[in-house]
Amino acid sequence: MQVVHCITGLTPDGAQRMLLRLAEQLQRRGVRNHVVSLGRREPFAEMFEERGIEVFSLGMGQGLSFLQFLRGLQALRKIIRTLNPDILQGWMYHANFALSLVRPTITPQLPIVWNIRRGLDDYSDRKFLTRAMIRTNARMSYGVSRVIYCTEESRVQHEEYGFDASGSVVVGNGFDAQKFRPRPEARAAVRSKLSLDSDTTLIGNVGRYDSAKGKNYLLDAFAMVHQRNPKTHLVLVGRGMTPDNSQLRVRVQEIGLSSAVTLYGEVGAMEEMYPAFDVMCSSSVNEGFPNVIAEAMLSGVACVATDVGNTRRLLDGIGIVVAARSVKSLADGLGAMCERGPEARGEAGRYGRERISRLYSLEGIGHQYAKLYSSLVGRGEKEAFFAQKATI
């Protein structure tokens, strides 16, 4: 079986990392994977190629003329025709749209699957063109073989908005419990880099600089927490989370937190960063499946997060879930988790690791995708696929 995955871009964000993990799992099951990025080539493409997954980049960035857009679609059509796949898999709205446009010009019967990666909590905050693309996806969804949502919450939101419900499937994200695990040595190593005392409570936040991630709510909430408990420190990790980001740097200075907040930037090996946190905080105003929460839980870290996407489902009974866009609620949640102390937070971390390991294994998610794909191809293809899988 052969699958062409089309994705909006290959920056190293949640959807892209999930695609990489999934493609690896599918490769092991005998499924050949190719990835087409609508955007320009990004360094993250090398991660796919190192694993034997071919990557094409179309360079369809923002500001394209209509003629350039048509040329991009022609390039996508040519790639698909050449590869002759059994399944087309779209990732995110723009890629879903592009695949659905070119599919009728290739083989109208070719199965096409969409992947919706986030919720609609911040729909009104999105750019006009993004909202228009979501509306277009809703209308086009009636011609799609299946729509995969990464959370039940996202499925409900999109179907209420007008997406076809007849082919909906919910498949969560999968994680490597051997890669993300407690590492006792990480705490001392990161504190040494940050020049922090061992009794300082380190709060971590991981995610790119984006309005959907609610960084301003987090900073205001942390200011309240730090005022109550000066032995706290916040580290912001992710793309754009550096002193070079003047908006962020000035914001930190304005609320008087320059000595209590570290703008750390991107980290290549997050599995070595999460275990250093005493508390992981997600302040997002919109999510689908928050990978950073699941990865932190696997790493044995207690979590505080806003109630978006399936966050409550992940943390129920283990972490603290607070209202989104509420500085006070976030501050109260962070303060309460800091006050619990190392023993109670450690217990929450152990329960969290067990939950993610049990419910969201990479192998289980890979099996669900493979089963879905095989159900969509012809009978002969199914038999060949399962015969090949049996030999692995």
Does residue 382 register a pLDDT over 50? no
- State the pairing for strand pair 201-206/279-282: parallel
The reply to whether 259 and 225 lie within a common domain is yes
Rounded Cα distance between 35 and 49, Å, is 10
Does residue 232 register a pLDDT over 50? yes
Q: What's the pLDDT at 381?
A: 43
* Mean pLDDT over each residue of the chain, to the nearest integer: 92
Confidence of residue 192 (pLDDT cuts 50, 70, 90): very high
- What's the whole-number mean pLDDT along residues 41-63? 91
Does residue 189 register a pLDDT over 80? yes
The reply to whether 110 and 248 lie within a common domain is no
334, 313 Cβ separation under 8 angstroms: no
Residue 283 covered by a domain:
yes
For every residue of 16-53, DSSP letters joined together read: HHHHHHHHHHHHHTT-EEEEEESS---TTHHHHHTTT-
CATH number for the domain spanning 95: value is 3.40.50.2000
Residue in the structure block whose two tokens are 């179907």: 159
Residue 282 covered by a domain:
yes
Q: What's the pLDDT at 123?
A: 87
Residue 139 covered by a domain:
yes
Report the predicted TM-score, pTM, of the whole model to 2 decimal places.
0.85
Rounded Cα distance between 117 and 150, Å, is 6
Q: What's the pLDDT at 383?
A: 38
Residue 376 covered by a domain:
yes
Confidence of residue 390 (pLDDT cuts 50, 70, 90): very low
Residue 179 covered by a domain:
no
Does residue 39 register a pLDDT over 80? yes
Does residue 308 register a pLDDT over 70? yes
The reply to whether 248 and 107 lie within a common domain is no
Residue 50 covered by a domain:
yes
Does residue 379 register a pLDDT over 60? no
The reply to whether 18 and 40 lie within a common domain is yes
Confidence of residue 63 (pLDDT cuts 50, 70, 90): low
Does residue 285 register a pLDDT over 90? yes
**Tokens representing residue 78 in the block:** 């040519």
Strands of the 201-206 sheet, one edge to the other: 261-265, 232-237, 201-206, 279-282, 302-306, 320-322
Confidence of residue 389 (pLDDT cuts 50, 70, 90): very low
The reply to whether 210 and 353 lie within a common domain is yes
Does residue 32 register a pLDDT over 90? yes
The reply to whether 218 and 70 lie within a common domain is no
- What's the whole-number mean pLDDT along residues 334-357? 96
The reply to whether 274 and 170 lie within a common domain is no
The reply to whether 74 and 96 lie within a common domain is yes
Range of the structural domain that residue 323 is part of: 184-359
The reply to whether 135 and 279 lie within a common domain is no
Residue 298 covered by a domain:
yes
The reply to whether 314 and 350 lie within a common domain is yes
- What's the whole-number mean pLDDT along residues 297-323? 96
The reply to whether 226 and 319 lie within a common domain is yes
Q: Count structural domains, the chain.
A: 2
How does pLDDT run across 105-156, given as a tens digit for each residue?
888 889 999 999 988 988 888 889 889 999 999 999 999 999 999 999 999 9
The reply to whether 270 and 228 lie within a common domain is yes
